């Protein structure tokens, strides 16, 4: 149905090349046709792997060619540039670090929009400024293609297990076409509204996540200083009103939980520098909308300080370690 909707949109909309639109519709109806994936970092790599696991032929491209090798071994085709991917695939997913990266990958000299086909579906899962998502959508629409923003929540663990949450913004009639692909990588695919609303939902979520993680780290640290066993304190919190995701699923104290970054010297997971970036996006949007976010502002300052103190590449839960070190000064 999603494919038929995509096809009918092109035929009755602004596409003047009906033959091309019909071809796109036929390509879409064959669900296991080529999918392009650009950006194979900590999140993009396992996401692309899950597409392959679900039987999709995947074409990949990354600014660091060595990051493509693992996907190539799994059968992915490696291409030199985003433009090359757009030349061969009419469904493309991008997973990039920041707004400037997205702008370059879509509109740069070797960008997707240089060779995008009419009727193509472009899904950006990066976390960026909602205004940039809207700009990319306008540029994409001028070429007869469709852009949707679909940032994710869940981290590397959820990306690996295929249990991400996708927050999707774009034309509602295109949502089912996007959901077909995103469901291979996520347990929850939620339609949020027009382009940019997916980013808005993600920014709000991550601001609360940062505030919650700092609160959990402060609480655990105080309890430890008061003589409480950290595992016992975590157990009590998680059966009480203070329970949150940072306390029961991603505890920041080493030795409390297995399989989280805190158990591995804060390696992997969601980097402090990325959290600082997302909090910066929240600050920008809060300023633009004249929204008071005092705790969000303080969280932004704390994560920026952490980046300056050597925590940039550590998981954002390392705020616990940062607070412990602050005590000794």
Bridge partners of 193, per DSSP, are 169
Number of helical (H) and strand (E) elements in the chain, helices listed first: 15, 9
Query: What SS3 class is residue 233?
Result: helix
Distance separating alpha carbons of residues 90 and 15, to the nearest angstrom: 15
Active site residue 202: yes
| Whether the Cβ atoms of residue 166 and residue 196 lie closer than 8 Å to each other | no
Element (H, E) at 98: none
Alpha carbon distance 230, 310 (integer Å): 25
Active-site residue, selected from the candidate residues 49, 118, 179, 202: 202
Q: Give Dmax over CA atoms of the chain in angstroms.
A: 73
Residue of 117, 27, 105 whose CA lies nearest to 60: 105
- E strands along 179-293, which residues? 186-193
Which of the residues are catalytic? 202
């Amino acid at each position: 149905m999603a494919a038929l909707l995509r096809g009918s949109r092109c035929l009755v909309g602004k596409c003047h090349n009906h033959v091309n639109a019909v071809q796109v519709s036929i390509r879409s109806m064959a669900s296991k046709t080529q999918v392009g994936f650009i950006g194979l970092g900590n999140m993009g790599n396992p996401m692309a792997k899950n597409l392959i696991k679900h039987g999709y032929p995947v074409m990949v491209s990354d600014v660091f060619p060595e990051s493509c090798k693992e996907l190539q071994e799994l059968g992915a085709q490696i291409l030199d540039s985003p433009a090359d991917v757009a030349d061969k695939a009419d469904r493309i997913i991008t997973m990039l670090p920041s707004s400037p990266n997205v702008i370059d990958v879509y509109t740069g000299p070797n960008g997707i929009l240089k060779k995008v086909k009419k009727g193509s579906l472009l899904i950006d899962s990066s976390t960026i400024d909602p205004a940039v998502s809207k700009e990319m959508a306008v540029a994409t629409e001028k070429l007869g293609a469709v852009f949707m923003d679909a940032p994710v929540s869940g981290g590397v663990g959820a990306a690996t297990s295929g249990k991400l949450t996708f927050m999707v913004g774009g034309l509602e009639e295109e949502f089912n076409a996007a959901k077909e692909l995103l469901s291979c990588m996520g347990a929850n695919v939620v339609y949020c509204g027009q382009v940019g609303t997916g980013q808005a939902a993600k920014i709000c979520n991550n601001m609360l996540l940062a505030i919650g993680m700092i609160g959990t780290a402060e609480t655990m640290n105080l309890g430890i200083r008061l003589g409480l066993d950290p595992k016992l304190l975590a157990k009590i919190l998680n059966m009480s009103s203070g329970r949150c995701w940072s306390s029961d699923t991603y505890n920041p104290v080493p030795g409390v939980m297995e399989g989280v970054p805190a158990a591995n010297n804060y390696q992997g997971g969601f980097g402090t520098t990325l959290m600082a970036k997302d909090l910066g996006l929240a600050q920008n949007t809060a300023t633009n909308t004249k929204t008071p976010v005092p705790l969000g502002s303080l969280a932004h300052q704390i994560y920026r300080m952490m980046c300056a103190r050597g925590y940039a590449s550590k998981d954002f839960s390392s705020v616990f370690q940062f607070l412990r070190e602050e005590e000794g000064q």
